Chain A
Protein backbone atom coordinates (compact mmCIF):
# COMPACT_ATOMS: atom_id res chain seq x y z
CA UNK A 1 0.00 0.00 0.00
CA UNK A 2 1.47 3.30 -1.08
CA UNK A 3 0.34 6.39 0.80
CA UNK A 4 1.28 9.94 -0.14
CA UNK A 5 1.12 12.57 2.60
CA UNK A 6 1.37 16.18 1.40
CA UNK A 7 2.70 18.33 4.25
CA UNK A 8 3.31 22.03 4.79
CA UNK A 9 5.83 23.91 6.85
CA UNK A 10 3.68 26.72 8.25
CA UNK A 11 4.50 30.19 9.39
CA UNK A 12 3.24 31.60 12.67
CA UNK A 13 3.56 35.28 13.49
CA UNK A 14 5.77 35.92 16.49
CA UNK A 15 5.08 38.75 18.93
CA UNK A 16 7.20 41.25 17.03
CA UNK A 17 5.96 40.57 13.52
CA UNK A 18 5.64 43.50 11.15
CA UNK A 19 3.83 44.07 7.88
CA UNK A 20 5.92 45.08 4.90
CA UNK A 21 5.49 48.78 4.15
CA UNK A 22 3.42 48.19 1.00
CA UNK A 23 1.06 45.73 2.69
CA UNK A 24 2.08 42.98 0.29
CA UNK A 25 3.25 40.61 3.00
CA UNK A 26 4.88 40.07 6.37
CA UNK A 27 8.51 40.72 7.25
CA UNK A 28 10.02 37.19 7.16
CA UNK A 29 12.06 37.96 10.29
CA UNK A 30 8.79 37.98 12.24
CA UNK A 31 7.83 34.42 11.31
CA UNK A 32 8.35 31.17 13.18
CA UNK A 33 8.20 27.93 11.19
CA UNK A 34 6.85 24.51 12.16
CA UNK A 35 5.18 21.46 10.61
CA UNK A 36 1.46 22.14 10.20
CA UNK A 37 -0.41 20.60 13.15
CA UNK A 38 -3.04 18.90 10.93
CA UNK A 39 -0.28 17.22 8.92
CA UNK A 40 1.07 15.51 12.04
CA UNK A 41 -2.30 13.72 12.26
CA UNK A 42 -2.46 12.77 8.55
CA UNK A 43 1.12 11.49 8.74
CA UNK A 44 0.32 9.44 11.85
CA UNK A 45 -2.73 7.95 10.11
CA UNK A 46 -0.54 6.96 7.16
CA UNK A 47 2.15 5.41 9.36
CA UNK A 48 -0.48 3.46 11.32
CA UNK A 49 -2.04 2.08 8.12
CA UNK A 50 1.37 1.02 6.83
CA UNK A 51 2.20 -0.67 10.11
CA UNK A 52 -1.16 -2.45 10.27
CA UNK A 53 -0.67 -3.72 6.70
CA UNK A 54 2.87 -4.83 7.50
CA UNK A 55 4.01 -3.48 4.15
CA UNK A 56 3.86 -0.38 2.04
CA UNK A 57 5.45 3.00 1.62
CA UNK A 58 4.70 6.43 3.02
CA UNK A 59 5.91 9.33 0.90
CA UNK A 60 5.88 12.87 2.32
CA UNK A 61 5.64 15.64 -0.29
CA UNK A 62 5.87 19.38 0.16
CA UNK A 63 5.84 22.47 -2.02
CA UNK A 64 8.15 24.99 -0.46
CA UNK A 65 11.53 26.65 -0.22
CA UNK A 66 14.41 25.55 2.01
CA UNK A 67 12.42 26.34 5.16
CA UNK A 68 10.07 23.53 4.13
CA UNK A 69 12.87 20.96 4.22
CA UNK A 70 12.63 20.95 8.04
CA UNK A 71 9.02 19.80 7.77
CA UNK A 72 9.97 16.92 5.49
CA UNK A 73 12.84 15.91 7.78
CA UNK A 74 10.41 15.88 10.67
CA UNK A 75 8.09 13.60 8.68
CA UNK A 76 11.02 11.30 7.81
CA UNK A 77 12.11 11.20 11.46
CA UNK A 78 8.63 10.11 12.49
CA UNK A 79 8.68 7.27 9.99
CA UNK A 80 7.95 8.37 6.42
CA UNK A 81 10.02 6.32 3.98
CA UNK A 82 11.04 9.09 1.65
CA UNK A 83 10.51 12.77 1.01
CA UNK A 84 9.99 14.94 -2.04
CA UNK A 85 10.31 18.70 -1.98
CA UNK A 86 9.13 20.69 -4.97
CA UNK A 87 10.47 24.17 -5.45
CA UNK A 88 11.31 26.45 -8.29
CA UNK A 89 12.46 30.02 -8.76
CA UNK A 90 9.18 30.54 -10.63
CA UNK A 91 7.26 29.82 -7.42
CA UNK A 92 9.35 32.14 -5.26
CA UNK A 93 7.61 35.45 -4.77
CA UNK A 94 4.43 34.20 -6.44
CA UNK A 95 2.83 33.27 -3.06
CA UNK A 96 0.95 30.36 -4.70
CA UNK A 97 -2.59 29.94 -3.39
CA UNK A 98 -4.32 26.66 -2.51
CA UNK A 99 -5.34 25.87 -6.10
CA UNK A 100 -1.86 26.63 -7.45
CA UNK A 101 -0.24 24.40 -4.81
CA UNK A 102 -2.81 21.69 -5.61
CA UNK A 103 -1.84 21.90 -9.30
CA UNK A 104 1.84 21.41 -8.47
CA UNK A 105 1.08 18.59 -6.03
CA UNK A 106 -1.15 16.93 -8.64
CA UNK A 107 1.76 16.61 -11.05
CA UNK A 108 3.93 14.99 -8.38
CA UNK A 109 1.27 12.81 -6.72
CA UNK A 110 -0.03 11.63 -10.10
CA UNK A 111 3.40 10.17 -10.88
CA UNK A 112 3.42 8.25 -7.62
CA UNK A 113 0.07 6.53 -8.38
CA UNK A 114 -0.69 6.06 -4.67
CA UNK A 115 -3.44 3.92 -3.19
CA UNK A 116 -4.26 6.67 -0.74
CA UNK A 117 -3.50 10.36 -0.28
CA UNK A 118 -3.87 11.76 3.24
CA UNK A 119 -3.86 15.55 3.65
CA UNK A 120 -4.46 17.69 6.72
CA UNK A 121 -7.89 19.38 6.74
CA UNK A 122 -6.22 22.79 6.71
CA UNK A 123 -2.97 24.59 7.37
CA UNK A 124 -2.80 26.72 10.49
CA UNK A 125 -1.46 29.77 8.63
CA UNK A 126 -3.63 29.99 5.48
CA UNK A 127 -6.67 28.06 6.79
CA UNK A 128 -8.10 27.54 3.29
CA UNK A 129 -9.26 23.97 3.97
CA UNK A 130 -9.09 23.61 0.19
CA UNK A 131 -5.75 22.21 -1.00
CA UNK A 132 -6.51 18.53 -0.37
CA UNK A 133 -9.90 18.44 -2.08
CA UNK A 134 -8.57 20.62 -4.92
CA UNK A 135 -5.79 18.05 -5.38
CA UNK A 136 -8.45 15.32 -5.59
CA UNK A 137 -10.24 17.41 -8.23
CA UNK A 138 -7.11 17.61 -10.36
CA UNK A 139 -6.43 13.89 -10.06
CA UNK A 140 -10.05 12.76 -10.35
CA UNK A 141 -9.66 10.85 -7.07
CA UNK A 142 -12.58 9.89 -4.81
CA UNK A 143 -12.39 12.13 -1.75
CA UNK A 144 -13.79 12.69 1.71
CA UNK A 145 -13.09 15.89 3.65
CA UNK A 146 -12.76 16.40 7.41
CA UNK A 147 -12.25 12.82 8.51
CA UNK A 148 -12.05 12.04 12.23
CA UNK A 149 -12.14 8.26 12.13
CA UNK A 150 -10.61 5.79 9.70
CA UNK A 151 -10.55 2.01 9.35
CA UNK A 152 -9.25 -0.05 6.48
CA UNK A 153 -11.38 -2.86 5.22
CA UNK A 154 -9.48 -4.58 2.42
CA UNK A 155 -9.56 -2.32 -0.62
CA UNK A 156 -12.01 0.13 0.97
CA UNK A 157 -12.02 2.47 3.93
CA UNK A 158 -14.75 3.11 6.46
CA UNK A 159 -14.42 6.72 7.54
CA UNK A 160 -16.15 9.16 9.86
CA UNK A 161 -16.79 12.63 8.50
CA UNK A 162 -17.03 15.32 11.17
CA UNK A 163 -20.04 17.57 10.52
CA UNK A 164 -21.12 20.70 12.36
CA UNK A 165 -22.61 20.56 15.83
CA UNK A 166 -21.21 17.23 16.97
CA UNK A 167 -22.80 15.18 14.17
CA UNK A 168 -20.71 12.47 12.51
CA UNK A 169 -21.41 10.72 9.20
CA UNK A 170 -20.06 7.23 8.65
CA UNK A 171 -19.31 6.34 5.07
CA UNK A 172 -17.38 3.92 2.95
CA UNK A 173 -15.03 4.82 0.13
CA UNK A 174 -13.07 2.51 -2.15
CA UNK A 175 -9.35 2.96 -2.81
CA UNK A 176 -7.70 4.80 -4.41
CA UNK A 177 -8.93 7.86 -2.55
CA UNK A 178 -7.93 11.11 -0.92
CA UNK A 179 -8.96 12.06 2.61
CA UNK A 180 -8.42 15.26 4.54
CA UNK A 181 -7.68 14.40 8.16
CA UNK A 182 -8.95 16.29 11.21
CA UNK A 183 -7.03 16.78 14.45
CA UNK A 184 -7.79 14.34 17.26
CA UNK A 185 -8.16 11.30 14.95
CA UNK A 186 -5.08 9.73 16.55
CA UNK A 187 -2.15 10.55 18.77
CA UNK A 188 0.75 11.71 16.61
CA UNK A 189 4.05 10.12 17.58
CA UNK A 190 7.19 11.97 18.47
CA UNK A 191 10.45 11.17 16.75
CA UNK A 192 13.26 9.78 18.88
CA UNK A 193 16.59 11.61 18.84
CA UNK A 194 18.07 8.63 17.03
CA UNK A 195 15.34 8.77 14.37
CA UNK A 196 15.90 12.49 13.93
CA UNK A 197 19.58 11.81 13.17
CA UNK A 198 18.75 8.93 10.87
CA UNK A 199 16.16 10.98 8.96
CA UNK A 200 18.99 12.66 7.07
CA UNK A 201 20.01 9.26 5.66
CA UNK A 202 16.56 8.71 4.12
CA UNK A 203 15.91 9.61 0.46
CA UNK A 204 14.90 13.25 0.10
CA UNK A 205 14.54 14.46 -3.45
CA UNK A 206 14.23 18.00 -4.77
CA UNK A 207 12.28 18.56 -7.98
CA UNK A 208 11.62 21.67 -10.04
CA UNK A 209 8.51 22.50 -12.05
CA UNK A 210 10.31 21.37 -15.20
CA UNK A 211 11.04 17.98 -13.56
CA UNK A 212 7.27 17.60 -13.20
CA UNK A 213 6.53 18.73 -16.75
CA UNK A 214 5.10 22.03 -15.54
CA UNK A 215 6.00 25.66 -16.05
CA UNK A 216 5.33 28.84 -14.11
CA UNK A 217 2.58 29.96 -16.47
CA UNK A 218 0.60 26.74 -15.96
CA UNK A 219 0.82 27.13 -12.19
CA UNK A 220 -0.17 30.80 -12.39
CA UNK A 221 -3.24 30.01 -14.49
CA UNK A 222 -4.28 27.29 -12.01
CA UNK A 223 -4.23 29.87 -9.24
CA UNK A 224 -7.70 30.85 -8.06
CA UNK A 225 -7.00 34.27 -6.63
CA UNK A 226 -4.62 37.21 -6.38
CA UNK A 227 -3.79 38.74 -3.02
CA UNK A 228 -4.04 42.49 -3.36
CA UNK A 229 -3.40 43.60 0.16
CA UNK A 230 -2.64 42.47 3.70
CA UNK A 231 -3.75 44.64 6.60
CA UNK A 232 -4.31 44.51 10.35
CA UNK A 233 -7.89 43.52 11.16
CA UNK A 234 -10.46 46.03 12.24
CA UNK A 235 -10.83 44.97 15.86
CA UNK A 236 -14.01 46.98 16.28
CA UNK A 237 -14.60 48.08 19.85
CA UNK A 238 -12.70 45.08 21.14
CA UNK A 239 -12.59 44.02 24.74
CA UNK A 240 -12.35 46.40 27.67
CA UNK A 241 -9.02 45.36 29.16
CA UNK A 242 -8.81 44.81 32.89
CA UNK A 243 -5.57 46.16 34.31
CA UNK A 244 -3.96 46.16 37.71
CA UNK A 245 -2.48 43.47 39.92
CA UNK A 246 -3.55 39.87 39.48
CA UNK A 247 -5.58 40.17 42.70
CA UNK A 248 -7.38 43.23 41.34
CA UNK A 249 -8.09 41.48 38.03
CA UNK A 250 -9.47 38.45 39.89
CA UNK A 251 -11.66 40.63 42.11
CA UNK A 252 -12.96 42.47 39.07
CA UNK A 253 -13.78 39.25 37.23
CA UNK A 254 -15.54 37.83 40.30
CA UNK A 255 -17.68 40.95 40.65
CA UNK A 256 -18.44 41.11 36.90
CA UNK A 257 -19.64 37.51 36.96
CA UNK A 258 -21.80 38.18 40.00
CA UNK A 259 -23.27 41.33 38.46
CA UNK A 260 -23.97 39.74 35.06
CA UNK A 261 -25.59 36.66 36.53
CA UNK A 262 -27.82 38.99 38.53
Chain B
Protein backbone atom coordinates (compact mmCIF):
# COMPACT_ATOMS: atom_id res chain seq x y z
CA UNK B 1 0.00 0.00 0.00
CA UNK B 2 1.80 3.09 -1.18
CA UNK B 3 1.80 5.98 -3.54
CA UNK B 4 -0.16 9.13 -4.22
CA UNK B 5 -3.34 9.39 -6.27
CA UNK B 6 -4.09 12.85 -7.65
CA UNK B 7 -7.67 13.53 -8.69
CA UNK B 8 -7.59 15.95 -11.62
CA UNK B 9 -10.64 18.01 -12.56
CA UNK B 10 -12.39 18.91 -15.78
CA UNK B 11 -15.50 20.96 -16.44
CA UNK B 12 -17.43 21.34 -19.68
CA UNK B 13 -14.73 19.53 -21.60
CA UNK B 14 -11.77 21.54 -20.29
CA UNK B 15 -9.17 20.51 -17.72
CA UNK B 16 -9.21 22.86 -14.75
CA UNK B 17 -5.89 24.61 -14.05
CA UNK B 18 -5.92 23.46 -10.43
CA UNK B 19 -5.20 19.93 -11.71
CA UNK B 20 -1.61 20.95 -12.44
CA UNK B 21 -1.24 22.58 -9.02
CA UNK B 22 -2.30 19.29 -7.42
CA UNK B 23 0.33 17.42 -9.45
CA UNK B 24 2.93 20.01 -8.39
CA UNK B 25 2.07 19.56 -4.73
CA UNK B 26 2.07 15.75 -5.04
CA UNK B 27 5.52 15.72 -6.66
CA UNK B 28 6.96 17.30 -3.48
CA UNK B 29 5.67 14.39 -1.40
CA UNK B 30 6.27 11.61 -3.92
CA UNK B 31 9.73 10.62 -2.61
CA UNK B 32 8.20 9.96 0.83
CA UNK B 33 5.11 8.14 -0.44
CA UNK B 34 6.53 5.03 -2.07
CA UNK B 35 7.88 7.05 -5.00
CA UNK B 36 4.73 6.53 -7.03
CA UNK B 37 2.39 9.22 -8.39
CA UNK B 38 -0.75 8.34 -10.33
CA UNK B 39 -3.14 10.95 -11.75
CA UNK B 40 -6.79 10.05 -12.31
CA UNK B 41 -9.52 11.92 -14.16
CA UNK B 42 -13.21 11.10 -13.79
CA UNK B 43 -14.93 12.58 -16.82
CA UNK B 44 -17.00 11.58 -19.83
CA UNK B 45 -14.11 12.75 -22.02
CA UNK B 46 -11.28 11.59 -19.76
CA UNK B 47 -9.11 9.81 -22.38
CA UNK B 48 -8.79 13.04 -24.37
CA UNK B 49 -6.98 14.71 -21.46
CA UNK B 50 -4.57 11.87 -20.66
CA UNK B 51 -1.62 13.34 -22.58
CA UNK B 52 -1.88 16.74 -20.87
CA UNK B 53 -2.02 15.11 -17.43
CA UNK B 54 1.13 13.08 -18.14
CA UNK B 55 3.33 15.80 -16.68
CA UNK B 56 6.97 15.14 -15.84
CA UNK B 57 7.19 13.00 -12.72
CA UNK B 58 3.76 11.40 -13.15
CA UNK B 59 4.05 7.60 -13.31
CA UNK B 60 0.65 6.72 -14.74
CA UNK B 61 -2.56 8.44 -15.85
CA UNK B 62 -5.84 6.67 -15.11
CA UNK B 63 -8.86 7.65 -17.18
CA UNK B 64 -12.32 6.82 -15.90
CA UNK B 65 -14.95 7.45 -18.54
CA UNK B 66 -18.00 8.17 -16.40
CA UNK B 67 -21.49 7.50 -17.83
CA UNK B 68 -22.71 11.07 -17.18
CA UNK B 69 -22.00 14.04 -19.43
CA UNK B 70 -21.50 16.50 -16.54
CA UNK B 71 -20.01 16.17 -13.08
CA UNK B 72 -22.32 14.18 -10.80
CA UNK B 73 -21.44 13.94 -7.12
CA UNK B 74 -22.67 10.40 -6.44
CA UNK B 75 -21.03 8.95 -9.54
CA UNK B 76 -17.77 10.72 -8.67
CA UNK B 77 -17.98 9.50 -5.08
CA UNK B 78 -18.39 5.86 -6.05
CA UNK B 79 -15.62 6.16 -8.64
CA UNK B 80 -13.23 7.55 -6.03
CA UNK B 81 -14.12 4.73 -3.61
CA UNK B 82 -13.45 2.15 -6.31
CA UNK B 83 -10.13 3.76 -7.27
CA UNK B 84 -9.02 3.75 -3.64
CA UNK B 85 -9.97 0.06 -3.29
CA UNK B 86 -8.21 -0.85 -6.52
CA UNK B 87 -5.07 1.32 -6.37
CA UNK B 88 -4.65 1.42 -2.57
CA UNK B 89 -2.88 4.81 -2.41
CA UNK B 90 -1.79 6.06 0.99
CA UNK B 91 -2.53 9.64 0.00
CA UNK B 92 -5.23 11.06 -2.28
CA UNK B 93 -4.86 14.69 -3.33
CA UNK B 94 -7.85 16.56 -4.77
CA UNK B 95 -8.86 20.22 -5.07
CA UNK B 96 -10.78 22.23 -2.49
CA UNK B 97 -13.20 22.98 -5.33
CA UNK B 98 -16.97 23.14 -5.48
CA UNK B 99 -17.09 19.80 -7.31
CA UNK B 100 -14.77 17.97 -4.91
CA UNK B 101 -16.57 19.43 -1.89
CA UNK B 102 -19.70 17.84 -3.33
CA UNK B 103 -18.47 14.26 -2.85
CA UNK B 104 -15.03 13.96 -1.20
CA UNK B 105 -16.22 14.51 2.41
CA UNK B 106 -18.90 11.82 1.91
CA UNK B 107 -16.27 9.34 0.70
CA UNK B 108 -13.94 10.24 3.57
CA UNK B 109 -16.77 9.72 6.07
CA UNK B 110 -18.11 6.45 4.69
CA UNK B 111 -14.66 4.93 4.07
CA UNK B 112 -13.06 6.12 7.31
CA UNK B 113 -10.26 7.99 5.55
CA UNK B 114 -7.90 10.55 7.03
CA UNK B 115 -9.20 13.89 5.82
CA UNK B 116 -8.48 17.62 5.73
CA UNK B 117 -9.90 20.33 3.48
CA UNK B 118 -8.72 23.78 2.35
CA UNK B 119 -5.13 22.65 2.86
CA UNK B 120 -2.50 25.36 2.24
CA UNK B 121 0.68 23.52 3.23
CA UNK B 122 1.94 19.93 3.10
CA UNK B 123 4.65 17.95 4.82
CA UNK B 124 5.64 14.42 5.73
CA UNK B 125 6.47 13.31 9.24
CA UNK B 126 6.61 10.07 11.16
CA UNK B 127 5.81 8.01 8.07
CA UNK B 128 2.69 9.90 7.04
CA UNK B 129 1.38 13.14 5.55
CA UNK B 130 1.02 16.37 7.52
CA UNK B 131 -1.39 19.11 6.42
CA UNK B 132 -1.45 22.80 7.29
CA UNK B 133 -4.60 24.90 7.05
CA UNK B 134 -6.05 28.13 8.40
CA UNK B 135 -8.06 28.28 11.61
CA UNK B 136 -10.38 30.95 12.99
CA UNK B 137 -10.83 32.62 9.63
CA UNK B 138 -7.16 32.27 8.68
CA UNK B 139 -5.99 34.25 11.70
CA UNK B 140 -4.09 31.15 12.87
CA UNK B 141 -2.48 28.16 11.15
CA UNK B 142 -3.24 24.63 12.36
CA UNK B 143 -1.20 21.55 11.62
CA UNK B 144 -2.78 18.10 11.32
CA UNK B 145 -1.62 14.52 11.08
CA UNK B 146 -3.60 11.35 10.41
CA UNK B 147 -2.51 8.59 12.79
CA UNK B 148 -3.93 5.14 12.18
CA UNK B 149 -5.33 5.95 8.72
CA UNK B 150 -4.26 3.67 5.86
CA UNK B 151 -5.43 6.28 3.34
CA UNK B 152 -5.71 10.06 3.73
CA UNK B 153 -7.67 12.39 1.43
CA UNK B 154 -6.54 16.03 1.31
CA UNK B 155 -8.33 18.86 -0.52
CA UNK B 156 -5.87 21.58 -1.54
CA UNK B 157 -6.69 25.26 -1.83
CA UNK B 158 -6.44 26.45 -5.44
CA UNK B 159 -3.83 29.08 -6.26
CA UNK B 160 -1.59 28.03 -3.38
CA UNK B 161 0.70 25.35 -4.81
CA UNK B 162 2.92 25.90 -7.86
CA UNK B 163 1.53 24.30 -11.01
CA UNK B 164 3.61 21.97 -13.18
CA UNK B 165 3.62 22.27 -16.95
CA UNK B 166 1.19 20.06 -18.80
CA UNK B 167 2.57 16.89 -20.43
CA UNK B 168 3.11 14.91 -22.45
CA UNK B 169 5.68 13.27 -20.24
CA UNK B 170 6.50 9.59 -20.47
CA UNK B 171 3.66 8.31 -18.28
CA UNK B 172 1.41 5.69 -19.89
CA UNK B 173 -2.38 6.11 -19.76
CA UNK B 174 -4.64 3.34 -18.56
CA UNK B 175 -8.41 3.23 -19.03
CA UNK B 176 -10.05 2.02 -15.83
CA UNK B 177 -13.45 0.38 -16.22
CA UNK B 178 -15.69 0.87 -13.20
CA UNK B 179 -19.31 -0.12 -12.66
CA UNK B 180 -20.91 3.31 -12.37
CA UNK B 181 -24.31 2.96 -14.05
CA UNK B 182 -27.52 3.84 -12.19
CA UNK B 183 -25.59 5.76 -9.52
CA UNK B 184 -26.53 9.34 -10.41
CA UNK B 185 -28.97 10.82 -7.91
CA UNK B 186 -29.14 14.29 -9.43
CA UNK B 187 -30.26 15.32 -12.90
CA UNK B 188 -28.32 18.05 -14.71
CA UNK B 189 -30.70 20.70 -16.10
CA UNK B 190 -28.23 23.23 -17.45
CA UNK B 191 -25.62 25.89 -16.78
CA UNK B 192 -26.16 29.60 -16.34
CA UNK B 193 -23.56 32.32 -16.43
CA UNK B 194 -23.93 35.26 -14.09
CA UNK B 195 -25.61 38.03 -16.06
CA UNK B 196 -23.04 40.48 -17.39
CA UNK B 197 -23.77 43.98 -16.22
CA UNK B 198 -22.88 47.24 -17.91
CA UNK B 199 -19.28 46.82 -16.87
CA UNK B 200 -16.50 44.22 -17.13
CA UNK B 201 -14.42 44.57 -13.95
CA UNK B 202 -11.81 42.15 -15.31
CA UNK B 203 -10.83 44.78 -17.92
CA UNK B 204 -10.31 47.67 -15.47
CA UNK B 205 -6.83 49.05 -14.69
CA UNK B 206 -7.95 50.50 -11.39
CA UNK B 207 -10.55 48.89 -9.15
CA UNK B 208 -11.91 50.59 -6.07
CA UNK B 209 -13.45 47.71 -4.18
CA UNK B 210 -15.77 47.95 -1.19
CA UNK B 211 -16.87 45.31 1.30
CA UNK B 212 -18.79 44.64 4.48
CA UNK B 213 -17.33 47.82 6.03
CA UNK B 214 -19.89 49.78 3.97
CA UNK B 215 -22.48 48.75 6.59
CA UNK B 216 -25.54 50.17 4.80
CA UNK B 217 -26.81 50.23 1.25
CA UNK B 218 -27.24 54.01 1.38
CA UNK B 219 -23.50 54.40 1.90
CA UNK B 220 -22.64 52.89 -1.49
CA UNK B 221 -23.46 56.08 -3.40
CA UNK B 222 -20.57 57.98 -1.82
CA UNK B 223 -18.11 55.35 -3.02
CA UNK B 224 -19.62 55.19 -6.50
CA UNK B 225 -18.97 58.88 -6.74
CA UNK B 226 -15.48 58.57 -5.27
CA UNK B 227 -14.62 55.84 -7.79
CA UNK B 228 -15.81 58.04 -10.62
CA UNK B 229 -13.74 61.03 -9.49
CA UNK B 230 -10.74 58.75 -8.95
CA UNK B 231 -11.03 57.23 -12.42
CA UNK B 232 -11.66 53.83 -10.87
CA UNK B 233 -14.19 51.10 -11.58
CA UNK B 234 -16.25 50.10 -8.56
CA UNK B 235 -16.14 46.43 -7.53
CA UNK B 236 -17.39 44.69 -4.40
CA UNK B 237 -16.91 41.68 -2.16
CA UNK B 238 -19.52 38.98 -1.72
CA UNK B 239 -21.62 40.34 1.19
CA UNK B 240 -22.82 43.28 -0.93
CA UNK B 241 -24.04 40.93 -3.65
CA UNK B 242 -25.60 38.56 -1.10
CA UNK B 243 -27.49 41.51 0.35
CA UNK B 244 -28.80 42.38 -3.11
CA UNK B 245 -27.16 45.82 -3.01
CA UNK B 246 -24.89 45.31 -6.02
CA UNK B 247 -25.06 43.04 -9.11
CA UNK B 248 -23.01 39.83 -9.29
CA UNK B 249 -21.10 41.20 -12.29
CA UNK B 250 -19.27 43.55 -9.88
CA UNK B 251 -18.20 40.78 -7.48
CA UNK B 252 -14.53 39.91 -7.02
CA UNK B 253 -13.71 36.47 -5.65
CA UNK B 254 -13.95 32.71 -6.14
CA UNK B 255 -17.64 32.78 -7.04
CA UNK B 256 -17.32 36.13 -8.82
CA UNK B 257 -14.59 37.43 -11.10
CA UNK B 258 -10.86 36.95 -10.89
CA UNK B 259 -9.28 40.34 -11.50
CA UNK B 260 -5.72 41.49 -12.10
CA UNK B 261 -5.83 45.31 -12.29
CA UNK B 262 -2.75 47.50 -12.00
CA UNK B 263 -4.19 48.96 -8.78
CA UNK B 264 -6.67 47.31 -6.41
CA UNK B 265 -7.83 49.62 -3.63
CA UNK B 266 -9.79 47.60 -1.06
CA UNK B 267 -11.90 49.56 1.40
CA UNK B 268 -13.59 47.77 4.28
CA UNK B 269 -12.81 44.29 2.94
CA UNK B 270 -11.41 41.90 5.56
CA UNK B 271 -10.15 39.42 2.95
CA UNK B 272 -11.91 36.06 3.24
CA UNK B 273 -10.05 33.31 1.40
CA UNK B 274 -12.62 33.32 -1.38
CA UNK B 275 -12.10 37.04 -1.94
CA UNK B 276 -8.31 36.83 -1.90
CA UNK B 277 -8.49 34.08 -4.52
CA UNK B 278 -10.00 36.61 -6.91
CA UNK B 279 -7.57 39.51 -6.49
CA UNK B 280 -4.26 38.39 -5.02
CA UNK B 281 -2.42 38.72 -8.31
CA UNK B 282 -3.27 42.42 -8.77
CA UNK B 283 -0.08 44.41 -9.46
CA UNK B 284 -0.51 46.80 -6.53
CA UNK B 285 -2.93 46.13 -3.69
CA UNK B 286 -3.76 48.88 -1.22
CA UNK B 287 -5.95 47.76 1.69
CA UNK B 288 -7.83 49.92 4.17
CA UNK B 289 -9.47 48.28 7.16
CA UNK B 290 -10.13 49.16 10.79
CA UNK B 291 -9.02 45.67 11.93
CA UNK B 292 -5.21 45.50 11.98
CA UNK B 293 -5.44 41.66 11.93
CA UNK B 294 -7.60 41.55 8.77
CA UNK B 295 -6.26 38.82 6.42
CA UNK B 296 -6.30 41.27 3.47
CA UNK B 297 -3.13 42.87 4.87
CA UNK B 298 -1.27 39.59 4.27
CA UNK B 299 -1.64 39.97 0.49
CA UNK B 300 -1.65 43.79 0.28
CA UNK B 301 1.43 45.79 -0.72
CA UNK B 302 0.26 48.85 1.21
CA UNK B 303 -2.11 48.97 4.14
CA UNK B 304 -3.75 51.53 6.39
CA UNK B 305 -5.71 50.94 9.58
CA UNK B 306 -8.21 53.76 9.20
CA UNK B 307 -11.96 54.23 8.84
CA UNK B 308 -13.07 53.93 5.19
CA UNK B 309 -15.58 56.76 5.50
CA UNK B 310 -13.08 59.22 6.97
CA UNK B 311 -10.63 58.19 4.29
CA UNK B 312 -13.23 58.70 1.55
CA UNK B 313 -13.89 62.24 2.80
CA UNK B 314 -10.18 63.03 2.75
CA UNK B 315 -9.68 61.45 -0.69
CA UNK B 316 -12.49 63.57 -2.10
CA UNK B 317 -10.71 66.68 -0.84
CA UNK B 318 -7.32 65.47 -2.04
CA UNK B 319 -8.76 64.86 -5.51
CA UNK B 320 -10.23 68.37 -5.53
Contact = CB atoms under 8 A, between A and B. Distances in A.
A253 B117 contact: no
Contacts of B103: 133
Contacts of B144: 225-228
Given A133-B105, A165-B257, A246-B311, A128 B206 contact: no
Contacts of B238: 183-184
B189 A184 contact: no
Contact of B112 (A222, A228, A238): A222
Interface string B282-320: 011111100101000110111111110011001101110
Contact of B302 (A187, A234, A240, A262): A240
Contacts, number: 279
B318 A166 contact: no
Given A128-B118, A246-B306, A257-B286, A164 B186 contact: no
Contacts of A169: 70, 188, 190-192
A233 B298 contact: yes
B53 interface: no
B73 to A, nearest CB: 6
A137 B98 contact: no
B109 A142 contact: no
Nearest to B131: A225
B248 interface: yes
A126 B101 contact: no
B186 A249 contact: no
B138 A233 contact: yes
A222 B148 CA distance: 11
A225 B273 contact: no
B240 to A, nearest CB: 10
A260 B262 contact: yes
A261 B206 contact: yes
Interface string A193-228: 000000000000000000000000000011011111
Contact of A173 (B106, B186, B248): B186
B69 to A, nearest CB: 12
B181 interface: no
A8 interface: no
A117 B83 CA distance: 29
B56 interface: no
A255 to B, nearest CB: 9
Given A163-B11, A170-B189, A184-B242, A257 B145 contact: no
A170 B105 contact: no
A107 interface: no
A240 to B, nearest CB: 5
A158 B242 CA distance: 20
B134 A134 contact: no
B28 interface: no
Contact of A184 (B241, B283, B314): B241
A253 to B, nearest CB: 6
Interface string A147-165: 0000000000010111111
Place the interface of chain A in its size category. 35 or more
Nearest to A232: B140
Contacts of A239: 285, 287, 297-298, 300-303
Interface in B110-129: 110, 112-118
B142 interface: yes
Contacts of B304: 241-242, 249, 253
Interface in B223-257: 230-231, 238-239, 241-244, 248-249, 251, 254-257
Nearest to A234: B141
Given A103-B109, A145-B101, A233-B140, A238 B263 contact: no
A42 interface: no
A236 B318 CA distance: 32
Contact of B139 (A13, A145, A221, A254): A13
Contacts of A261: 205-206, 231, 262-263
Given A99-B105, A133-B103, A165-B256, 6 more contacts: A13-B139, A158-B189, A224-B113, A224-B146, A230-B140, A231-B141
Interface of A: 11-13, 15, 17, 19, 26, 97-99, 102-103, 124-138, 140, 142-146, 158, 160-174, 177, 183-184, 187, 221-222, 224-236, 238-242, 246-247, 249-251, 253-254, 256-257, 260-262
15 contacts: A99-B105, A129-B105, A129-B118, A131-B105, A165-B257, A166-B194, A166-B257, A168-B191, A169-B192, A173-B187, A184-B243, A226-B145, A231-B141, A233-B134, A239-B301
Interface of B: 11, 70, 73-74, 77, 96-99, 101-110, 112-118, 130-131, 134-147, 149, 152, 185-194, 205-206, 230-231, 238-239, 241-244, 248-249, 251, 254-258, 262-263, 265, 273, 283-288, 291, 293, 297-298, 300-307, 310-311, 314-315, 317-319
Across the A-B interface, the 4 shortest Cβ-Cβ residue pairs: A137-B106, A184-B242, A224-B115, A239-B303
